[in-house]
Amino acid sequence: MPEAVRALKTVPSIDDPNEQVIVIRGSDRAQFKHCRRLWGWISHLKMGLKLRDEPIYFWFGSGIHWALEDFHGYNRYGHAGKAFLAYVEATKACKALPDGWEEHVPLGLGMMSYYSDYWLRHRSPLETLWLDDVPQCEVNAQIDLGVTYKGHRVVYGITIDRMTVDAYGQLWIHEYKTAKAFNLYHFDLDEQITSYVWGATKVYGEKPAGVVYLQYRKHIPQMPRILSTGKISVDKKQPTTAPLFRQLLTDMFGSINSAPQEYIPFLNHLTAEEEAEADRFIRRDYIERNVHEIRSFEERIHMELEDMLNENLPLYPNRTRGCVWSCPLQHVCLAMEDGSDYQDTLRSYVGSSDGQYYFNEVLKWRQVLPPPEQVVLPEEAQMYAQLIQESQQLPREGQQALPEQTLLEELSHGQGRW
């Protein structure tokens, strides 16, 4: 095995830049167990190769994380959408914009505007934990694992999106995810969630109650569509909300009660999707882990470390059908197997082999964020914010209960007809 793949790389410790440590991150563990060959190429512990064309969701996800970090922390930009735009400008200044970034700017801006201008108006933003005047957002920590390798401490690298404290003084870790659709069935087995509870326990000296798992769908709520017949579409797949639909009915018919009955089932459907902690665009789930689970997690890390720290471990591939859609270096892997010049193929896919890429390059944009006064929400975004604010202020029609209110009341009081 070539030395470049064999050797374990070190990086400066967060606490003492003069000390070199070996950092294990959750993503490393997952990658290592998934395919050792791929891990050897792209893990910062090994060759640390940087892909020439990084998938756009890395760039987009970082922007959303930054927007939420600022919004729930120092709030320098005063608006999550503006913070996202500041990120776009900063990555532009660093020449770190990926292909296709233009289409993602309105998406990020819309998602963040919807969250801060609308979603949170109906729900608690939850209280960010501040320590020594520092908001606990995007907290980077290195947790000592009590192991040394070739004289270097081995630490677990973790980044906590946000810590909050509830009315009972309990800590909660926030984890942000953006995706096309909500994912609801993995919570019990999600290793990342367990790692956050374990890591936050070490960092804050007390076990948090759990993780607030926040999912943002990559859609911007829109006014319901008007069909060529002049009618309003009641297609359940369209990205809209009950308040927006209610607003359109009011605009077109003067009031909800004057609207044709054919629209009421769809309005009821949209209303029923609005929950205390979720609507069809954003949801919060509260996930807990007990003490036994976090102890067991720590034991697993140490078992895996035995393999990951072994520089002579064969880095064999794990070829599965999933490689086709999940491996960015599958052509290099193929070349290696069929005897082609895989080194040449590898060079065409990667841009650098700096193992410290994550620690240096990825964070450069933070140094060149524009001042808040230079970031202006585009007119469309301001109009959108106004629209969704107006839609939620719509009066609910005098004394008479709206049809969707009646439905909810029936459901909550058990007075339905079944």
Place of tokens 């993780």: 211
Query: Which spans of this chain sit near ligand SF4 (rule: CB under 6 A)?
Result: 35, 37-38, 317-319, 323, 327, 329-330, 333
Q: Which residue's CB comes closest to ligand SF4?
A: 333
Closer to ligand SF4 by Cβ: residue 15 or 307: 307
Closer to ligand SF4 by Cβ: residue 278 or 323: 323
* Shortest Å distance, C-beta 304 to ligand SF4: 18
Closer to ligand SF4 by Cβ: residue 35 or 47: 35
Closer to ligand SF4 by Cβ: residue 292 or 321: 321
Handedness of CA 167, 173, 178, 184 (dihedral sign): negative
- State residue 286 phi and psi, 5-degree precision: -105, 115
Closer to ligand SF4 by Cβ: residue 49 or 90: 49
- The token pair at 169 is 């003084």
Closer to ligand SF4 by Cβ: residue 51 or 323: 323
What is the CA 338 to chain-centroid distance, rounded?
A: 38
* Shortest Å distance, C-beta 328 to ligand SF4: 8
Alpha carbon separation from 211 to 52, 108, 133, 319 (Å, rounded): 34, 24, 23, 34
* Shortest Å distance, C-beta 59 to ligand SF4: 22
Q: Is 25 in a helix, a strand, or coil?
A: strand
* Shortest Å distance, C-beta 324 to ligand SF4: 8
Alpha carbon separation from 221 to 237, 264, 405 (Å, rounded): 11, 19, 22
**What's the burial of 415, exposed, middle or buried (CB within 10 Å: 0-12/13-18/19+)?**
exposed
* Shortest Å distance, C-beta 38 to ligand SF4: 4
How many helices (H) and strands (E) the chain has is answered by 16, 12
* Shortest Å distance, C-beta 156 to ligand SF4: 24
* Shortest Å distance, C-beta 51 to ligand SF4: 12
CB count within 10 Å of CB 253 equals 14
Closer to ligand SF4 by Cβ: residue 33 or 207: 33
Measure the CA–CA gap between 64 and 282, rounded to whole angstroms. 13
